[in-house]
Amino acid sequence: MSALELEDVNAYYGNSHILYDLDLHVDQNEVVALLGRNGAGKTTTLRSITGTIPRREGRIDFRDESIVDDSVDAISNKGIKLVPEERRIFPTLTVQENLMLSRDSCKGESRPIEEMYDIFPILDDLRGNNGQNLSGGEQQMLSVARALVQSPDLLLLDEPTEGLAPVIVEDLEEILKDIVSEDVTVLITEQNVEFALELSERAYIIESGENAWDGTIEELRDREDLLEKYLSVGVEE
């Protein structure tokens, strides 16, 4: 069953045309990576799904129902949750207050806050600390926890390892592996290609807002030329 489907999606910022007839689908309980260079249109794709981009055209279906004309709040209430690259935690609220606010604003079923501390043990020791006093990695984990506490049907992760130290990236990878093993549906954008491939089952590569390639992770690992062409990197065997 398809959880998310984009067909012929075009997106604009003012007069700037960013996405061109983009096609993409994510099946239920699948993890899909969206890859591309900086400026390729990855974040714009996620914003098109969540309705936060000023203008978009085409078909965007969530569980076989169109959401292209829905408001940002309506899309969120249907269970689509974005973890933005900027993290956007509340800096003057504690970890506990950030989680409580996210849980209490959820229109559907939420998960217990204590469960978030089980998933992110580092946050348990920091529950009384303000968001602005957390490290970048701790803020990222809080940002993911804020989304998870709302029990999302579709989790959108925008560059989750951006700016994080390698040791924190390793910790986050293990945590996200546990999360995706719970049969959650995930679409992830990421510059750290190996990180994305370790978590995902399929991948899309976009270039200048257009589809350049899509296939399984196994196929992509056998086509290192594609990553060298579109991302100028190789992948580990």
The pLDDT score that the predictor gives to residue 237 is 46
**Do 155 and 147 form a contact (C-beta atoms < 8 A)?**
yes
Tens digits of residue pLDDT in 188-228: 999 899 999 999 999 999 999 999 999 999 999 998 888 88
pLDDT, tens digit, 9 for 90 and up, residues 128-165? 999 999 999 999 999 999 999 999 999 999 999 998 88
The pLDDT tens digits of the residues spanning 91-122 come to 999 999 999 999 999 888 899 999 999 999 99
3-class state of residue 205 by DSSP: strand
Residue 235 pLDDT > 70: no
Lowest mean pLDDT among 11-15, 43-47, 94-98, 172-176: 172-176
User: Is the separation of the CB atoms in 41 and 86 below 8 Å?
Assistant: no
Instruction: Domains for the chain: give ranges and CATH numbers.
Output: 1-79+153-164+183-237 (3.40.50.300)
What whole-number distance in Å separates Cα of residue 235 and Cα of residue 8? 30
Taking the C-alpha atoms of residue 142 and residue 83, their distance in angstroms, rounded to an integer, is: 10
pLDDT digit string (tens) for 44-91?
999 999 999 989 999 999 999 999 999 999 999 999 999 998 889 999
User: What pLDDT is attached to residue 227?
Assistant: 81
Average per-residue pLDDT for the chain: 93
d(CA 163, CA 147): 20
The burial class, CB within 10 Å (0-12 / 13-18 / 19+), for 150 is buried
Nearest to 94 by CA among 145, 19, 57: 145
At 233, the pLDDT band (50, 70, 90 cuts) reads: low
C-alpha neighbours within 13 Å on the C-beta side of residue 40 = 19
Pair 62, 4: CB distance under 8 Å:
yes
Q: What does the alpha-carbon distance between residue 190 and residue 206 come to, in Å, rounded to a whole number?
A: 12
DSSP for residue 232: S
Residue 100 CA to residue 113 CA, distance in Å, equals 7
